[in-house]
Amino acid sequence: MELAILDSKTLGNDLDLTPLKKFGEVKNYETTSAEETLERIENVEIIITNKVVITKEMMQKASKLKLIAVAATGMNNIDLEGAKELNIHVKNVAGYSTSSVVQHTFTMALYLMGRVNYYNHYVLDGSWSDSNLFTDVSKPFGEIAGKSWGVIGFGTIGKEVAKVATAFGATINYYSTSGQNKINDYHHYELEELLTRCDIISIHAPLNSSTENLLNSKNLSLLKEKAILLNLGRGGIINEADLAKELDSREIYAGLDVISKEPIEKSNPLMQIKNKEQLLITPHIAWASIEARERLLDSIVKNIQNFLENEKLLQDDIN
């Protein structure tokens, strides 16, 4: 059996892929362009992909293809209806990155709230050495304790963030983007009131028709002065041009791990803002702790194993 990994670079060079070899010959491609995809999948039975787009037309020409193992939770890069019509199985992985995303949420919050960038540079540029004080409080910072933390998107990750924020001493409020998660121990507010009330707001929602452009010029102005806004859901939930204007018009802070077009374009308005100390952007890494990536690979291996076992059982029944 032949397997092809289409974008192994997204999994990291530090991940040991040898467990996949027990299924057969593994062709490992660090990246795969749209022009290269068909050639790389047309003669293999199993493909593993994170973000490479697989169309119905490609699948029709890949006559040996039996399984698409998605190295992620989201499957929007796969034509699922086309796969179903062609009897090609698609298996994703859920829940592997929850701890990693929750941790990164608080990494970003603490970095911005603690003015870590300012104080790190204060030391490294020699300013502390040149001072006559053992400390420096020129850039006031606050505590999470006693603050109101708002969560937008109250699924598994949002609920875990709420638990940790509660441990820090924050009061939790939330807005359910689906309208389905309103029975729990925290208070639900509509979006506008949540933005008005909360000191810290973190987004953990999918991108869909209900969340696209959810935060924009009409409601970003509702954020409290010195509020912190974090997006660890999907790019496109926040209008980036509107956020850039808001960051340059007053003192609010934003931490973004996701951008509407990734990698971020140099022309993105967020790359041009004047108040750069109020913005933290990381390159879509919240999901990617080494432990999360190891769990992801383990689940991919299990998905392939389960598929092959089911195939064998089906074949035995036929025989």
Q: Please count the other Cβ atoms lying within 10 Å of the Cβ belonging to residue 289.
A: 17
Amino acid type, 198: C
Q: Are 300 and 69 in contact (CB under 8 A)?
A: yes
Q: What is the DSSP letter of 22?
A: G
Among 104, 204, 284, 295, which one carries the catalytic annotation?
A: 284
Q: In whole angstroms, how far apart are CA 30 and each of 3, 48, 79, 311?
A: 14, 12, 22, 29
Q: Are 256 and 270 in contact (CB under 8 A)?
A: yes
Q: Please count the other Cβ atoms lying within 10 Å of the Cβ belonging to residue 157.
A: 24
Could you confirm whether 42 is annotated as catalytic? Answer: no
Q: Are 2 and 25 in contact (CB under 8 A)?
A: yes
Q: In whole angstroms, how far apart are CA 177 and each of 155, 180, 212?
A: 10, 8, 11
d(CA 222, CA 201): 12
Among 40, 104, 204, 234, which one carries the catalytic annotation?
A: 234
d(CA 36, CA 21): 23
Reference 30, options 45, 55, 50; nearest CA is 50
Could you confirm whether 188 is annotated as catalytic? Answer: no
Among 251, 262, 265, 309, which one carries the catalytic annotation?
A: 262
Query: Which residues are designated catalytic?
Result: 234, 262, 284
